[in-house]
Amino acid sequence: MFKLNTQRSYQYPVSVVIFDGEKEQTGKFTATFKVLPNSQIRDPENADKKLLDLVLVGVDGIEVPGEDGRPLQGDALLQALKDDPAVSVALVAAYQESITKKNRPRT
């Protein structure tokens, strides 16, 4: 019998491309996402929340320096990543791909 864990979280690779001046930087890191039931995504209480605020739990393999030059950690790191347009798009794409990738029918 298949048993579904509705409280699961998992790690998934994230690829990002960032333009810095005339240089293009590519990088990869790992995000930890939690699975959010569809009912919670559509819940009116979450209407003003962004997807990443609901599903992003942590990251590994990426460093963001704070104002003091030291690497950000915890919630400050997550917020910095969600605030960067290129990284936030990459995170959302990775989450959506992780949910749909294995469940697509094979042709």
Chain segment 6-33, per-residue pLDDT in tens: 888 999 999 999 998 889 999 999 999 9
For the stretch 61-70, contacts whose Cβ atoms lie closer than 8 Å and that sit 24 or more positions apart, written own/partner, are 61/28, 61/29, 61/30, 62/27, 62/29
d(CA 101, CA 77) in angstroms, rounded, equals 27
The pTM of this model reads: 0.86
Domain ranges of the chain: 9-102
